[in-house]
Structure 1
Amino acid sequence: MNKKSAVPVFFCIPDITGFTRFVTTTDDADFANRVISTVLNKVAEANILAMDIAEIEGDAIFFFKIGRLPAIKKVAQQCQLIYEVFLDAISGFEQTDPDLYHKYLSANQLGMKVIVHHGQVTPTKIGKRTKLMGEDVILAHKLLKNSVVDPCYILLTQKYLVKLKDKKVVKTWFNWDRLKHGKDEYEHFGIVEYAYISLPDCKPLSKSK
């Protein structure tokens, strides 16, 4: 990557957990498609950080924001809002499709994880679209596959955490007592360290600005 043209970028990537199993084991393909499209649309609309979308890849939305790092309070609110709209979208099918809901969704077959990362990218024009290029784009994709077993969680990479000027704010907004630490090894990147927290364990946050 050309360091001179690289710019700082914040990634926030909501990803539906249990997606592959859900799609491949659901007999009603139309219902499965409606569930996934409803969840992704609701999450895309819940964009209080005014992020751009690099791509929507199957079960994940690659939100990004170039430039100044968003305030951690707003990041925490964004992650929790994503979780809330996910739960609302799933529970909505209990009203509209009760039989299918109880067959395919009531046992928490689907979950939501949110990957939060910070790095450098080089925006590149390809046709009429702007494509993000660089190591951190690749790493953001790889982070979707990790060893966290919780179905609903926020993963905060070490590269994001070290950018925070006041480390105490992590305790305030992400419930340090419940924050766990993990690491995974990725080809070409080596060991990548991160912190994570179950979304239900996050402290309730005010939606006020």
Structure 2
Amino acid sequence: MEKKSEAPVFFCIPDITGFTKFITSTKHPDFAHKVISNVLNNVISANILGLSVAEIEGDAVFFYKTGRLPAVNKVAKQCQLIYHTFLDTIAAFEQTDPELYHLYLSKNQLGIKIVIHHGHIMLTKIKGRTKLMGEDVILVHKLLKNSIIDPCYILLTNKYIEKLKDKKVVKTWFNWENVKKGKDKYEHFGLTHYSYISLIDCKSVKMNI
């Protein structure tokens, strides 16, 4: 096992909300598999920040990028592209599988959340595969389980916001007047503060970067 030194990292984790109920309640597992597979494949293809994929974890894509922090406007555009990709993928099933779409998808049974975080990791090679290790890897996984009720939102950790040189750009690109404050307590980490905004409330921005 070969281990490298600690590196700064940007995390972007899109996660499908309503996934467990969708998978366990459907009487059409092939359709459910096709929906989740299409969403995850299309979200991966919507990667405009040059992010690396550490894992595909059932209902989430674990994106990361080491080195320089991406510009806030590009992060906002990436989040919106992921959201619209999700919406378009779900909507496409109304044409290809109308009966099952109306049964399982037409009432917004699925949503998508995106966790944005900045921290540090150890990149480790295990049998030729790059694995991410460190407390920030654990924390972002814990943040996927939070007290936010909204089915479609962006969560911005305080550690990400504090890393930004100009805090005003967050207001510009994430429609700050609609941003809410949140906090959850996690074992070994204690009370973790963050900001979040419904993807519906985000400003529309041009997708060319």
Q: TM-score range by the shorter chain?
A: over 0.9
Find the aligned partners of 2:125 and 2:22 in 1 and give their Cα distance.
Answer: 36
Equivalent residue for 2:68?
68
Deviation track 1:94-145 (CA, whole Å, cap 9, x = no partner) reads 0000000000000000000000000000101111111111000000111100
User: Counterparts of 1:99-114 in structure 2 under 5 Å?
Assistant: 99-114=99-114
Residue aligning to 1:157: 157
User: Following the alignment from structure 2 to structure 1, what is the Cα–Cα distance between the partners of residues 52 and 5?
Assistant: 19
Equivalent residue number for residue 79 of structure 2: 79
The answer for the alignment partner of 1:196 in structure 2 is 196
- Distance in 2 of aligned mates of 1:142 and 1:177: 27
User: What is the aligned partner in structure 1 of residue 5 from structure 2?
Assistant: 5
1:175 maps to 2:137:
no
Q: Distance in 2 between matches of 1:68 and 1:30?
A: 41
Mapping of residues 107-146 of structure 1, within 5 Å: 107-146=107-146
Question: What is the aligned residue count?
Answer: 206
Q: Does 1:50 align with 2:50?
A: yes
Per the TM alignment, residue 61 of structure 1 is displaced from its structure 2 partner at its CA by 0.3
CA distance in structure 1 between the aligned counterparts of 2:196 and 2:103, rounded to whole angstroms:
31
Q: Secondary structure at the match of 1:162?
A: helix
Matched ranges for 1:2-41 at <5 A: 5-41=5-41
Say whether residues 1:185 and 2:177 are aligned partners.
Answer: no
For the residue of structure 2 that corresponds to 1:6, the secondary structure is strand
Query: 2:208 & 2:172 partners in 1: Cα distance?
Result: 16
- Distance in 1, matches of 2:163 and 2:174, equals 15
Shift of 1:66: 0.4
What is the alpha-carbon distance in structure 1 between the residues aligned to residue 208 and residue 51 of structure 2? 19
**Distance in 2 between the 1:105 and 1:130 partners?**
36
- Cα distance in 1 for partners of 2:184, 2:5 equals 29
State the TM-score, normalizing by the size of structure 2. 0.98
Matched letter for residue 126 of structure 2: I
Question: Can you list the C-alpha shifts for 1:149-197, whole angstroms capped at 9, x where unaligned?
Answer: 0000000000000001001001100001000000000000001100000
Deviation at 1:45, TM superposition (A): 0.3
* Separation of aligned partners in 2, 1:16 and 1:180: 21
Consecutive unaligned residues in structure 2, runs of 5 or more: none
- Could you state the TM-score of these two structures normalised by the residue count of structure 1? 0.98
SS at match of 1:154: strand
SS class of match (2:163): coil
Stretches (4+) displaced over 3 A:
none
Deviation at 1:208, TM superposition (A): 2.2
- Give the secondary structure class of the aligned counterpart of 1:5: strand
